[in-house]
RNA sequence: GUGGCCGUAGCUCAGCUCGGUUAGAGCGCCUGGUUGUGAUCCAGGAGGUCGCGGGUUCGAAUCCCGUCGGUCACCCCA
């Protein structure tokens, strides 16, 4: 262990069997996002720093202390993306797209924080953005997608927490009211909350230490203007109609500044760490304008894959092989031919060094988890191989050209 | 960024309080028993600068300091 082979603090190497769960989760995501009509969108892993400063918000925790920022050789300030929404909106604007557009992404994000269960410096998010419309139906559809995805994966106790933060005018008035309400009670606030109050009063609503006091505070959803209020109602009506359960959480706020109107989070019951949010999102009608483009409404969500997998437990490490090929002495080339032929036929198959003892090869076959082991031996000269079902030890000879179909039955 | 706990074979850990011959166990791994058979059994074997650096000492896995890493909570968030 002399040379340092560990990955950097807060990052992980993910190998089998854990990586099998990752494959399943990522495939499930691709499936659901396609079913909902989202095309794949890929943006750079790093961006100009000011994109995040303007997009995510100068007063947010993310921008103030969590960004991986460095200067490149061309003296540009570059930041590893701490989230993906600002990039996707930038890409939409840059491509000159008119009107509605739906994109899905998947990839690593970076935030400089003290690592903890369910909180890494490099973590994986999947998400979608639906731009160019302010219809509440789009909000409901985004929320439904995340819900279906989590339920399909088998996450236990999924619930959707829903709130509305109002339109910018509602929010300005509300924040002023909240600020004076909190300032009047500053003596009772925790020191952390008092600091937060100066920078961003709404985030005080998130303070765990002040939960009791906060429960008395005015809530954003109680101060909605007509437009936001009607939209909030419609989102709820639509969620009811498609059978997505949710609970209204009046004091739910989000850590990023760009949210307007709809804000939501997914929480699960099986995560036994302090981090309970599996995903979240909302509407951000002012974001495009803030990062320097035209005014384009949008709504989106982001899901934390690391946390979702944590909450899944390690139960389902599905076997990745259908068959394992072993060979007796001198049958190396025949065995290699069989492996190649099966792979071309769509069978997931592997072998180890076929010149090793049959015992060693069978041991590897057993460990691989493959249901069947195929023995290339003297039967090969008669056009067959011996197939052994590992679970019960039964063996039968199978014609070489029939193996692929035999394995599927 | 703040605080608590932890760092000995691939893995889980014992040994550390009361420093002292070649640092142990279980599991795993490799080879053989079976020159065509795994998961069981038997025999043998490989594998450790005791996280790293410094200090105290005749002598440090064991005591002291620092550092890095892990973990949990806060903060915050996915």
pLDDT in tens, A148-163: 999 999 998 899 999 9
Question: Residue A75 pLDDT > 60, yes or no?
Answer: yes
Say if residues A338 and A325 touch (Cβ distance below 8 Å): yes
Pull the structure tokens for residue A314.
Answer: 């390690």
Per-residue pLDDT reduced to its tens digit, A155-191 = 988 999 999 999 988 988 998 999 999 888 888 888 7
Strand-pairing partners, residue A108, are A124
Most confident of A58-67, A266-275, A399-408: A399-408
- The DSSP string of A339-354 is HHHHHHTT--EE---T
**What pLDDT was estimated at residue A61?**
80
Distance of CA A194 to the CA centre of its chain: 33
Q: Are strands A247-248 and A159-164 parallel, antiparallel or unpaired?
A: parallel
Which uninterrupted H or E stretch holds A267? strand A260-267
A262-320 pLDDT, tens per residue? Answer: 999 999 877 666 678 899 999 999 999 999 879 999 999 999 999 999 888 765 567 77
pLDDT-derived band at A47, boundaries 50, 70, 90: very high
Q: Which residues of A92-114 are buried (b: 16+ CB within 10 A; e: fewer)?
A: bbeeeeeeebbbbbbebbbbebe
User: Which one, of A148, A164, A157, lies nearest residue A303 by Cα?
Assistant: A148
CA distance A222 to A214: 14
Q: Residue A259 has what pLDDT? A: 86
Cα-based angle A169, A171, A172 (whole degrees, multiple of 5): 65
Lowest mean pLDDT among A252-256, A285-289, A330-334, A400-404: A252-256
Instruction: Identify which of A82, A407, A130, A101 has the alpha carbon closest to the alpha carbon of residue A281.
Output: A130
- Compute the mean pLDDT over every residue in chain A, rounded to the nearest whole number: 90
Q: Strand A349-350 and strand A323-327: pairing?
A: parallel
Average pLDDT over residues A326-332: 92
| A123 closest-nt by C1' vs CA | B78
Instruction: Report how far residue A86's alpha carbon sits from residue A56's, in angstroms, rounded to the nearest whole number.
Output: 7
- Contact criterion met (CB below 8 Å) for A349 and A325: yes
Which residues does residue A127 pair with via DSSP β-bridges, in sequence order? Answer: A105, A302
With both helix axes pointing from N to C terminus, report the angle between A136-153 and A226-242 in degrees, rounded to the nearest 10.
Answer: 40
Angle between helices A136-153 and A305-312 (to 10 degrees): 40
Q: Which helix (H) or strand (E) holds A130?
A: strand A122-131
Which of A 69-98 have CB under 7 A of nucleic chain B?
Answer: 83
Strands A122-131 and A159-164: unpaired
Beta-bridged to residue A397, according to DSSP, are: A386
Rg (CA), chain A: 27
Element (H, E) at A234: helix A226-242
What confidence tier does A194 reach under pLDDT thresholds 50, 70, 90? confident
φ and ψ at residue A271, rounded to 5 degrees = -90, 115
- DSSP 3-state assignment of A288? helix
> Could you say which nucleotides of strand B lie within 7 A of any protein CB atom?
1-3, 9-10, 29-32, 34-39, 49, 51-52, 68-78
- Checking each nucleotide's C1' against the CA of A278, the nearest proves to be B78
Q: B6 C1' – A230 CA distance, angstroms?
A: 54
Length of chain A counted residue by residue: 409
Q: Provide the pairing of β-strand A122-131 with A247-248.
A: unpaired
* Burial class of residue A68 (count of CB atoms within 10 Å of its CB; 0-12, 13-18, 19+): middle
A111 touches strand B (CB under 7 A): yes
> Is the Cβ atom of A276 within 7 Å of strand B at any atom?
yes
Q: What are phi and psi of A146, to 5 degrees?
A: -60, -40
With CA of A277 and C1' of each nucleotide, the nearest comes out as: B78
Span A88-143, pLDDT tens digits: 999 999 999 999 999 999 999 999 988 888 899 999 999 999 999 999 999 999 99
Residues 249-268 of A with CB under 7 A from strand B: 254-256, 265-266
Cβ contacts of residue A49 below 8 Å, gap of 6+?
A67, A69, A77, A78, A79
Q: Which CB contacts under 8 angstroms, 24+ apart, belong to A272-277? A: A273/A116, A273/A117, A273/A118, A273/A310, A274/A116, A274/A117, A274/A118, A275/A116, A275/A117, A275/A118, A275/A119, A275/A307, A277/A304, A277/A307
Q: A60: Cβ under 7 Å from strand B?
A: yes
Inform me whether the pLDDT recorded for A360 exceeds 80: yes
């Amino acid at each position: 262990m002399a040379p340092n082979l560990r990955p950097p603090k807060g990052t992980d190497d993910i190998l089998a069997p854990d990586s099998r769960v990752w494959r399943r989760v990522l495939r499930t995501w691709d499936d659901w996002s396609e079913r909902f009509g989202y095309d794949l969108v890929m943006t750079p892993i790093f961006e100009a720093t000011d994109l995040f400063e303007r997009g995510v918000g100068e007063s947010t925790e993310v921008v103030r202390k969590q960004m991986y920022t460095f200067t490149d050789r061309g003296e540009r300030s570059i930041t590893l993306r701490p989230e993906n929404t600002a990039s996707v909106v930038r890409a939409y604007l840059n491509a000159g797209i008119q009107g509605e557009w739906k994109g899905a992404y998947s990839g690593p994000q970076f935030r400089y924080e003290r690592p903890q269960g369910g909180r890494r410096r490099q973590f994986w998010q999947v998400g979608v953005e639906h731009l160019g419309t302010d219809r509440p139906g789009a909000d409901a559809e985004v929320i439904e997608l995340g819900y279906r995805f989590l339920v399909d994966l088998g996450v236990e106790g999924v619930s959707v927490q829903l709130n509305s933060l109002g339109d910018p005018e509602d929010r300005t008035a509300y924040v002023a009211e909240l600020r004076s309400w909190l300032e009047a009670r500053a003596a009772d606030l925790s020191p952390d909350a008092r600091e937060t109050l100066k920078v961003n009063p709404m985030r005080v609503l998130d303070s765990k230490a002040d939960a009791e006091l906060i429960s008395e505070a005015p809530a954003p959803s109680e101060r909605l203007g007509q437009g936001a209020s009607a939209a909030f109602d419609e989102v709820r009506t639509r969620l009811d109609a498609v059978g997505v359960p949710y609970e209204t959480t009046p004091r739910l706020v989000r850590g990023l500044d760009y949210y307007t109107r709809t804000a939501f989070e997914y929480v699960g019951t099986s995560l036994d760490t302090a981090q309970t949010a599996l995903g979240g999102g909302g509407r951000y009608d002012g974001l495009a304008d803030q990062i320097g483009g035209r005014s384009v409404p949008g709504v989106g969500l982001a899901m934390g894959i690391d946390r979702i997998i944590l909450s899944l437990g390690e139960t389902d490490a599905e076997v990745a092989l259908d068959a394992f090929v072993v060979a007796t002495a001198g049958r190396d080339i025949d065995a290699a031919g069989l492996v190649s032929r099966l792979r071309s036929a769509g069978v997931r198959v592997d072998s180890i060094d076929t010149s090793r003892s049959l015992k060693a090869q069978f041991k590897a076959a057993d460990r691989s988890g493959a249901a069947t082991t195929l023995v290339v031996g003297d039967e090969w000269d008669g056009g067959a191989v011996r197939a052994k079902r590992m679970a019960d030890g039964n063996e039968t000879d199978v014609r070489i050209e029939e193996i692929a179909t035999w394995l599927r039955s």
